Structure 1
Amino acid sequence: MTTLRVELDIAADAGVVWALLKDFQHIAAFNPNLSRSIHIDGTPREGVGAERRCELKDGRNWIDERVVDWRTGESYTVEIYAGTMPIREVRTTLAVSPNRAGSRAIMQITYTPKFGPVGHLLDLLLLRGKMKELMESVLEGLRQKSVESLLANN
């Protein structure tokens, strides 16, 4: 099992950042790795049990995610329950907390590579670095949207 974590300070109040995070089905608004994200009918729009499908920009890959933990104003954790990615047992947490800069955004992912020992080797050589880059780009997109939102409301 692999666990990766990235953090980024954002010059916006934690409430501004949370407003973007809690709009669960619209993660594509700040995640530059996605072409779109859509709410899965029959599930809540936010909170535990909310589900979304995320389509990646490559046009081939997708994931379906379900919220398994929701802490209003602070964080949520999702599990991927279907998709085309070469990983399984995936849990991702997005969190925000106040700090002197405004807020700190945190993204943590835990996963197990598919394909046994070959997958473990690929994880060490390639996947971890790619995943970390993807995570950093998500938080950078969140930072940009948060600052834009803050400026638009002033």
Structure 2
Amino acid sequence: MSTHASHTIHLNLSLESAWKFLSDLSLAPYYVPGLTGCWFHPGPQSGRGASRRVQRRYGQWLDETVVDWQEGSGFVLHLHKANRGAPSPFREARFSYALEAHGSGSRMTLCLDYRLRGGRLVERLLANTFDRTVRQIGENLTAYYETGETQNRDFID
């Protein structure tokens, strides 16, 4: 893929504790802005091949399937709408989480790799929006992992 937005966060959690949160794929609505729910497709709920549907505001939804899983350190999600490919405005999209020990805590890098419909001009126009979104997910994730309090006002547990 040709373009990416990334953000690195520092967690006051051990690598093991951070991985326990990160590897639970059902927790995304607690920290991803705009998500209102999540459920798994039949099959595994963790590891390569795990697939979930996340519900978004206004009845929208998105499927996310794990295409790479590195036990204890991260994974890559392929973003798609059932078997119809990437959701608009994407031509292709993947979201990755990479976790590593850092001092007495841990560090995580979140990255959205994508190509947009409309080409380079549209990618340049939307780049700041995707940068802000990835940064917001990272900030929300940090707060949720460290406090247990959701930062997503759209999700009601």
> May I ask how many residue pairs the two structures share in their alignment?
143
How far apart, in 2, do the equivalents of 1:29 and 1:113 lie? 27
The two structures have a TM-score, normalised by structure 1, of: 0.84
Match of 2:18 in 1: 17
Contact 1:35 1:55 in 2 (8 A): yes
Match of 1:128 in 2: 127
In structure 2, stretches of 5+ residues that fail to align are 149-157
Percent identical among aligned pairs is 24
Task: Report the equivalent of 1:61.
Answer: 60
Structural mapping, 1:110-125, within 5 Å: 110-114=113-117, 116-117=118-119, 120-125=120-125
Structure (1 or 2) with the greater helix fraction:
1
Could you list the structure 1 runs, at least 4 aligned residues long, displaced by more than 6 angstroms after superposition: none
What is the alpha-carbon root mean square deviation over aligned residues?
Answer: 1.7
CA contact (8 A) 1:17 1:142 kept: no
Query: TM-score if structure 2 supplies the norm length?
Result: 0.82
Where does the alignment leave 5 or more consecutive residues of structure 1 unmatched? Answer: 150-154
Aligned pairs for 1:4-153 (under 5 A) are 4-40=5-41, 42-57=42-57, 59-82=58-81, 84-100=87-103, 102-114=105-117, 116-117=118-119, 120-125=120-125, 127-149=126-148
- For 2:91 and 2:26, locate their aligned partners in 1 and report how far apart those are by CA, in whole Å: 22
Point out the more displaced range, 62-71 or 101-110: 101-110
Q: What secondary structure sits across from 1:96 in the alignment?
A: strand
C-alpha deviation, 1:101, in angstroms: 5.3
Is contact 2:66–2:77 with CA below 8 Å preserved after alignment? yes
Inter-CA distance 85–61: structure 2 relative to 1 (3 Å threshold):
farther
